[in-house]
Amino acid sequence: MSAIPDNPYLLLTPGPLSTSPTVRQAMMKDWCTWDQEYNQLVNAIRDRLVALALPESDAASEEFTCVLMQGSGSASVESVIGSVIPPDGKLLVLANGTYGKRIGQIADVLSIDVKVWDFGEQGAIDLDALEQQLSGDHGYSHVAVVHCETTTGRLNPIEQIAKIVKNSNTCLIVDAMSSFGGVSIDVAKLDIDFLISSANKCIQGVPGFGFIIAKRSALELTQGMARSLSLDLYDQWKCMQEGGGKWRFTSPTHTVRAFDQALIELAAEGGVDARHQRYLQNHQVLVDGMRALGFKTMLEDDVQSPFITTFYNPTDAAYQFEEFYQRLKLKGFVIYPGKVSDADCFRIGNIGHVFPEDMERLIKVISTELYWLA
């Protein structure tokens, strides 16, 4: 199956991404935020997200809940950071890219005591050092980590990290923005306290809101802690719980309806495992084809996620990324510039309503656009 060419190009980006025609069609109806039918839809979405986060732990469904939050994915991250850390708390951020560092920036702006442990944009989180850091009286109340760091596409070892963090009796916050829905994550098995993702990533909806899957016991302790009115995680949850799915402030109704359709299509595809397999196939076709054309990947294969892949730019003096980008766009593909500060690179996303046949078409187009080799 190939993506239906009803748009001028495919977005080969880490989100927003190419959506199905039926997801876009779902936004063609207006909804009232106070309407019972709409609020029931919101609650059904919340329940389905919790179910996705508990692939092997159905018995734990009452232990976890879900909160939808207006805004970008970063707004949901800020909601968690600003709402769950008490005034005397201290946050440790494990960073190996832009989005880990952004968590630290959020904490700084909110005057939260924070240490950003920067392992470098191309570096791996040192698990032995982390275990040593969190041994004894370490002083941290919370640890935050990005699962898939889309700066490079690195997939951080969340299972090992979670075990170390939870053995230290510390609250764990996981930014799963670019991974949730595209790979199995069991929040109960990993004992994650707060997991954050967004509508416009692997579930293949459109931008407009993020969501937080939280351990009820941890969330209930956060009442009155929020440093923001509109991003108050506890109050948003309480309103949704007691109001039958009602949001405190105006909700992104069209985006919510599109997300509902995206969840239907995720189930129809075979669930998270089936989608993960498609993303893996997309990635393999892409990497094999690009390497055959002479492009080099930044990361080693064993740490590379199937969600977005970073390639080094060619070193030929005639090559210019902007020209390469525009040529591909004219042929129906939009790629992403690099984000690594000390490397000349670009990125190609493998997620969204994109299939291995689309990646094969991309490779054929790129093979005809190697103008710097002419």
DSSP string, 130-190: HHHHTSSS---SEEEEESEETTTTEE--HHHHHHHHHHTT-EEEEE-TTTBTTB---HHHH
The pLDDT tens digits for 122-131 are: 999 999 999 9
List the Cα angle 269/77/27 in 5-degree steps. 45
d(CA 348, CA 345): 10
Mean pLDDT computed over 68-74? 97
Extract the tokens encoding 227: 């440093």
The answer to whether the beta carbons of residues 152 and 299 sit under 8 Å apart is yes
The pLDDT tens digits for 156-185 are: 999 999 999 999 999 999 999 999 999 999
User: For residue 3, is pLDDT > 90?
Assistant: no
C-alpha count within 13 angstroms, C-beta hemisphere, residue 225: 20
User: For residue 70, is pLDDT > 60?
Assistant: yes
Q: Alpha-carbon torsion 245, 251, 253, 254, what sign?
A: negative
The answer to whether the beta carbons of residues 18 and 362 sit under 8 Å apart is no
pLDDT at 2: 54
Percentage, residues of the chain above pLDDT 70: 98
3-state secondary structure of 326: helix
d(CA 270, CA 252): 27
User: For residue 202, is pLDDT > 50?
Assistant: yes
Task: Kindly provide the b/e burial profile for residues 166-194, where b requires at least 16 CB atoms within 10 angstroms of the residue's own CB.
Answer: bebebbbbbbbbbbbbbbbbbbbebebbb
Sequence-distant (6+) residues with CB within 8 A of 152 are 96, 97, 121, 122, 298, 299, 310, 339, 340
The pLDDT tens digits for 252-293 are: 999 999 999 999 999 999 999 999 999 999 999 999 999 999
In the DSSP assignment, the letter for residue 295 is: -
Point out the least confidently predicted range of 53-57, 87-91, 94-98: 53-57
Question: Which stretch of DSSP H or E encloses residue 43?
Answer: helix 36-52
pLDDT at 341: 86
d(CA 370, CA 3): 25
d(CA 221, CA 141): 13
Look up tokens 């069609």; give the residue.
25
Q: What residues form DSSP beta bridges with 149?
A: 154
pLDDT at 125: 97
The pLDDT tens digits for 186-196 are: 999 999 999 99
d(CA 261, CA 174): 26
The pLDDT tens digits for 6-40 are: 788 999 998 899 999 999 999 999 989 888 999 99
Q: Which residues are annotated as a binding site?
A: 347
Listing DSSP states for 46-87 in one string gives: HHHHHHHT-TT-GGGGGGEEEEEEES-HHHHHHHHHHHHS-T
Percentage, residues of the chain above pLDDT 90: 91
pLDDT at 4: 46
User: For residue 141, is pLDDT > 80?
Assistant: yes
pLDDT at 5: 54
Listing DSSP states for 242-284 in one string gives: HTTS--SS---HHHHHHHHHHHHHHHHHTSHHHHHHHHHHHHH
Sequence-distant (6+) residues with CB within 8 A of 254 are 27, 30, 31, 208
Extract the tokens encoding 135: 């041994």
User: For residue 247, is pLDDT > 60?
Assistant: yes
Please state, rounded to an integer, the average pLDDT across all residues of the chain. 95
Residue 50: closest CA among 65, 70, 67: 65
pLDDT at 287: 98
Domains, the chain: 10-19+271-373 (3.90.1150.10), 21-269 (3.40.640.10)
Q: Which residues are annotated as a binding site for substrate?
A: 347
pLDDT at 213: 98
